[in-house]
Structure 1
Amino acid sequence: MLKDNHGRNINYLRLAVTDRCNLRCFYCMPEDGLNWLSRTELMTYEEMLRSCSLLVKMGIEKIRITGGEPFVRKDIMQLLTSISQLQGLKELSLTTNGVLTAPYVSELKKIGVRSVNLSLDTLDANRFFTITRRDEFANVMAALDALLKHNIEVKINAVVMDGKNTQDIIPLVEMTKDLPVSVRFIEEMPFNGDGHLYTGLQWDYVRILEEIKTKYPQVQKITDPAYSTAYNYQIPGHKGSIGIIAAYSRTFCGTCNRIRITPQGELKTCLYDDGVLNIKNLMRSGTADNELQGILLNAFGNRPKDGWEAEQLRVQHPGIHESMATIGG
């Protein structure tokens, strides 16, 4: 088992395969998008597979594919299929906005993907357009339907934003009555990609729970799985469950088991750090796997104790402003 310098297990990799996205969610990027990475700046699929293979051999057991939006990258199923065949990997999952997902669901099921996180901040088509700046609500709902029909576990991720979608908290909770989904409310984070400083959190995990209790005072705390980033709840009689992720409050850092690799190959041992080394560049300079393993172990042995320390240590981008699409969530 991989461990960091604070004794925390590391067994979970989030691999971002692209920075590009077919939505323009205002909390993630400017309306006109970002300066997309060129093809040469991105990791190739061969480099991604080599990274995943090495990390699985070192102790990574779960890999989540993220973006940007994974399905905007050409031939993504080839990479997913190859990763799913790695010996020692116990779980392959992905996060998607659902716009292009529905046609791939049967293939995802076939290669063993058992869990998909679906980004959905509102159940109102007009608010969806306001938030995402795209008219794709029907495609996202079609993806949800396809995932449920194929018995793939669905976690719905909703970022709670003051003045934008707080009226959707209760309708999203109501989805859990008849659908076996986990609806997870996420505190808004400062990764908006527009260079503006974060103005502060209006809806933290405590306030979100209090809002849920206004309609469902009987909501009950349930056991949080190992390494859970969410506080988990269930309403008696409901098929699904509720999660609240304190992403900005950072209350779960003490059990964090995850690392991230960005589309350009930057290793992040914390969501809030600057990136600690570039795996792609090391590979392209001829670094052998045994050397790379030693470099990675050194990085894991110098991990910040929490997201607050990681943020304080930032050098390249003090005052976080990069887009979540560039770091993989």
Structure 2
Amino acid sequence: MSIAPAVERTVGNLLPDGAAPAEHVASGRAVPGRATPSDADRRDAPGLVDRFGRRHRDLRISLTDRCSLRCTYCMPAEGMPWLPSDELLTVAEMTRVAAVAVRHGVEEIRLTGGEPLLRPDIVEIVAGLAALPGAPEISMTTNGLRLAALAEPLRAAGLGRLNMSLDTLRPERYARLTRRDRLGRALDGLAAADRAGFTGTKLNAVLVRGVNDDETVDLLRFALERGYELRFIEQMPLDAGRTWTREGMVTADEVLASLTGEFDLVPVPTRGAAPAERWRVDGTDAVVGIVASVTRPFCGACDRIRLTADGQLRSCLFARDETDLRTILRTGGDDERIAQALGLAVRAKAAGHTVGTAGFEQPARGMSAIGG
């Protein structure tokens, strides 16, 4: 059964009464907390809008497929085939793609990996992106192991916000989950980010059944005490080792059940294109989120496109097709050619992923190679 009608209905449900998806996304309505392109920018660029009326405002750029951890739900312990360094996009190449994307409506750029802080030119990358006309918001997802040294220069370069992976507060479990005994370094990095002036930091936690699924309450208390927003993320079938099973995944409903016994949770009604469902905690402004990509897909409002470290454009984490931008960049293609490739990839985007259906096939690349 095709999922397109259901997703079109989902998109429609997000719109004002009587508005068609295409009419809504062409309205140029500002999104709170994001940079708003100038009127001239809007006239010059119609925006990256797909067949279902979804306007793409969020570009995820993976800087490397390498990581300083080996999380069991992401990578095998050894034997990963890393990309050769000459296949990675340079600072100039990724900045050029980002500039074209911003001219066509992208408002936020998130740097991912692998572990983005492993790039020796990471501060230069951030500075180049932060200086783009249109003032996109620059954010990063990191494991935090190098933040103690890099938080201040990254902040000075223009990095606006951080998401940090933190699956457990117990050193022995951290070592088991990541295959590295480095929880202290991660927490030191988090503290350094606070000292550098980062605010609105989010913590991402993946729960593994039988390993850390009893830490939901402890993790939320940790986040509440320090002013972070905690987001639990359902484990997705994107592990390089291909060991994911539906039965082994801790679901959003299970997370909620474990939290509601300790906290009073009230749903936050507005979500927009954000991947997380959010709840206010104990009558305060503090919130907790759950990204339920598997059990509660949010494809109908997705506004993301992804650029891999080797220059391949992907319209979805679970997409099986990629658009080769690196070849365009390295064979003299102009900005119009890049814009055409962006537009074609977005227009070909599927209505939604097929995880959980008989026809689902896991992408050839794992999460670390795609960019989280």
In 1, Cα distance between the equivalents of 2:356 and 2:265? Answer: 34
| Letter matched to residue 259 of structure 1 | I
| Letter matched to residue 326 of structure 1 | A
Please say if residues 294 and 355 of structure 2, whose CA atoms lie closer than 8 Å, have aligned partners that are also in contact: no
In 1, Cα distance between the equivalents of 2:105 and 2:70? Answer: 36
| Letter matched to residue 365 of structure 2 | E
Deviations 1:264-296 (A, max 9, x none): 111110110023211112222222211221122
1:298 equivalent to 2:344? Answer yes
DSSP 3-state at the match of 1:98: coil
DSSP 3-state at the match of 1:40: helix
Please say if residues 294 and 356 of structure 2, whose CA atoms lie closer than 8 Å, have aligned partners that are also in contact: no
Give, in angstroms, the shift of residue 205 of structure 1.
1.0
How many residues get paired?
325
Give, in angstroms, the shift of residue 236 of structure 1.
1.9
| Letter matched to residue 69 of structure 2 | L
Deviates more, 1:272-281 or 1:235-244: 235-244
Aligned to 1:127: 173
1:219 equivalent to 2:261? Answer no
DSSP 3-state at the match of 2:86: coil
Residue among 237, 248, 270 paired with 1:190: 237
Q: Structure 1 residues 194 and 177, CA, compared in 2 at 3 Å: closer, same or farther?
A: closer
Q: Structure 1 residues 309 and 176, CA, compared in 2 at 3 Å: closer, same or farther?
A: closer
Give, in angstroms, the shift of residue 114 of structure 1.
2.5
Deviations 1:68-89 (A, max 9, x none): 0011111211111011000113
1:326 equivalent to 2:364? Answer no
1:232 equivalent to 2:278? Answer yes
In 2, Cα distance between the equivalents of 1:312 and 1:8? Answer: 26
Q: How does 1:124-163 map to 2 (within 5 A)?
A: 124-149=170-195, 150-163=197-210
1:210 equivalent to 2:253? Answer no
In 2, Cα distance between the equivalents of 1:312 and 1:298? Answer: 28
In 2, Cα distance between the equivalents of 1:238 and 1:300? Answer: 39
Aligned to 2:41: none
Aligned to 1:43: 89
Please say if residues 75 and 240 of structure 2, whose CA atoms lie closer than 8 Å, have aligned partners that are also in contact: yes
In 2, Cα distance between the equivalents of 1:26 and 1:309? Answer: 20
Please say if residues 273 and 313 of structure 1, whose CA atoms lie closer than 8 Å, have aligned partners that are also in contact: no
In 2, Cα distance between the equivalents of 1:276 and 1:313? Answer: 19
Q: How does 1:96-135 map to 2 (within 5 A)?
A: 96-135=142-181
Structure 2: gaps spanning 5 or more residues: 1-46
Q: TM-score, normalized by length of structure 2?
A: 0.82
Percent identical pairs in the alignment equals 32
Please say if residues 114 and 368 of structure 2, whose CA atoms lie closer than 8 Å, have aligned partners that are also in contact: yes
In 2, Cα distance between the equivalents of 1:235 and 1:189? Answer: 26
Deviations 1:119-156 (A, max 9, x none): 01001111000000111111110111122232432100
In 1, Cα distance between the equivalents of 2:356 and 2:139? Answer: 26
Residue among 228, 251, 265 paired with 2:297: 251
Deviates more, 1:237-246 or 1:101-110: 237-246
Deviations 1:193-243 (A, max 9, x none): 014464545321111111111222x22212444311111012226563210
Give, in angstroms, the shift of residue 98 of structure 1.
0.4
Deviations 1:31-82 (A, max 9, x none): 0151111012211222111111111111111000001001111121111101
In 2, Cα distance between the equivalents of 1:33 and 1:94? Answer: 27
Aligned to 1:273: 319
Q: TM-score, normalized by length of structure 1?
A: 0.93
In 2, Cα distance between the equivalents of 1:312 and 1:94? Answer: 34
